[in-house]
A and B are shown apart, each in its own frame.
Chain A
């Protein structure tokens, strides 16, 4: 859908408490244009719970239920049941960070998926606990500095899409804010499908990733161009890649060097300064290469 056809209605209002250059803000605006007014958000503890602004004001033009860190998917099951009792078909959406999704809330998310709650779970993934001051999460990539991985994380992130796939959801997708049309389309598609849906939006974070705040969208696009992040959809268990990721998969374009992505972020600076850490840069590249090798075999 061309940008001019996207809704003019702003359901995430200007003047919020988000950091300047916040990737989540972009994700929210695009997703809410696809979702529309008849939507209820459930938000666990995460950046978004701060972005809403303080009582008695909110920056959201739709109902938002804030809930404890581990509880958002279960709360969504309850909201869905309550709405169903009243014959309402309002979209129930969880909007959660990667900490709530990958870590503390994964049990309740798995439960809601298993009982086939009709809702859309959106994880805006900034690859760390940004809200609490940049700590390591299950989504933090190998090598990244955080305030709980001072020398760089020693492990890779877990594969949340594979976890979602293990629940046989009718619709799973990844997106990133640098491709707004793609993100909008995927949210719209999810909206049209009954049952549990999962969308994960890579959402760069200037203070956490340590880059200039004007480069949030650039970072997002670079994540795709380098193959660090892939745009994909999973329907009926079939994985399809789209956009630039599809071109990379099919060998139509060569991905940019992963090092371009790493070197643009202060959180990976220790891999380059004071001395180039060849071993870990190489390991990071291998992780990405292996991922694309699997993708070419039709796997995650």
Chain B
């Protein structure tokens, strides 16, 4: 296929950009409080919360847009939003 032929796009992470740069507030996860209920994982609109083998979670700040849904929805308040430095 010619290089530019029709509008065919290929899947990549960060297709738009490193959307972590959009943030004003960033989520901080208190791993000690986390019950591994996975609500933050499933409710993140950007898939920016990674789920590990042991069902612990980690926030991928490269792509987290800082919406704060995770902090709002965490049933044990293990995530809080703090201003980006």
Residue B15 contacts which of A29, A59, A214 (CB distance < 8 angstroms)?
Answer: A59
A4 to B46, CA, bound (A): 18
Most B C-beta atoms less than 10 A away, residue of A6, A8, A56, A66: A56
| Residue of B with least CB distance to A184 | B42
A275 to B85, CA, bound (A): 41
| Residue of B with least CB distance to A10 | B47
Is A12 in the interface zone, CB < 8 Å from B? yes
Is A213 in the interface zone, CB < 8 Å from B? yes
Residue A21 contacts which of B8, B45, B48, B62 (CB distance < 8 angstroms)?
Answer: B45
A14-B19 CB under 8 A given contacts A20-B65, A30-B42, A214-B67: yes
Q: Which A38-93 residues have a C-beta within 8 angstroms of B? A: 52-61, 66
Task: Please state if A21 and B68 are interface contacts (CB–CB under 8 Å).
Answer: yes
Most B C-beta atoms less than 10 A away, residue of A15, A26, A58: A15
Task: Please state if A58 and B66 are interface contacts (CB–CB under 8 Å).
Answer: no
Residue A214 contacts which of B17, B41, B72 (CB distance < 8 angstroms)?
Answer: B72
Task: Please state if A58 and B68 are interface contacts (CB–CB under 8 Å).
Answer: no
Q: Mark B7-42, 1 if CB is under 8 A from A, else 0.
A: 111111111111100110000000000000111011
Task: Please state if A214 and B71 are interface contacts (CB–CB under 8 Å).
Answer: yes
Task: Please state if B63 and A61 are interface contacts (CB–CB under 8 Å).
Answer: no
Residue B69 contacts which of A3, A60, A214 (CB distance < 8 angstroms)?
Answer: A214
Q: What is the CB-to-nearest-CB distance from A51 to chain B, in angstroms, rounded to a whole number?
A: 9
Most A C-beta atoms less than 10 A away, residue of B12, B19, B44, B45: B45
The residues of A that contact B65 with a CB separation of less than 8 Å are 20-21
Task: Please state if B42 and A57 are interface contacts (CB–CB under 8 Å).
Answer: no
| Residue of B with least CB distance to A206 | B67
> What are 12 residue pairs bridging A and B, where the CB atoms are less than 8 Å apart in the complex?
A13-B11, A13-B47, A14-B48, A16-B15, A21-B68, A24-B45, A26-B43, A59-B15, A206-B67, A213-B69, A214-B69, A218-B72
